[in-house]
Structure 1
Amino acid sequence: MSDRLEEKFCNAIIHVTQQSSAWLLTNGLDVGISHVVGQALHKVRLTHPGKDIIAIAIAKYGCIMNYSRLKELTGQVKTSDAQDRLQEYPN
């Protein structure tokens, strides 16, 4: 993606999200379009601290950096039945 196109994309995502109060959902990974969206969110939070944008990243537990610290901080890791079913029946 060219720098100009990337900037237009970021501005459009932020504008639409702010105007509609929509939530952004990503895969939580720091690559590809998710990385670009993350940069746009970071830029907005730095330049407009009062404007809240809700972003939710959904990633596999093992893909999270320092995921073992989550276990240390909470003392336990809970999984839902849905996660267990997904693990039993991989694609």
Structure 2
Amino acid sequence: MTDMERKTFCAALRRYGAQAQITMAFEEMAELQDVLCKFLRGRVDGDTLANIAEEIADVGIMLDQMAIEFEVEDAVAEQRAYKVRRLRERIEKDG
């Protein structure tokens, strides 16, 4: 995340509080789940891909705030790198 994004997310956590932002993270993840389920059920219209992009962005914003709140930004980056590396190795192994 950029420095400006981090400052904005910290300000949001201060203003609204951790509990409210955790609840918002739940809500945003549920909205993403809902739009993806609609996609899988074939309920696709002109706004579907835009809605998916919007909800992925919302979830990403909330996840960044969670990493800040729980002071796990470095651990998240390490886990992400590890899991991407593991996925790449599995793909290469399976040929």
Greater helix share, structure number: 2
Could you tell me the TM-score, scaled by structure 1's length? 0.35
Greater strand share, structure number: 1
Could you tell me the TM-score, scaled by structure 2's length? 0.34
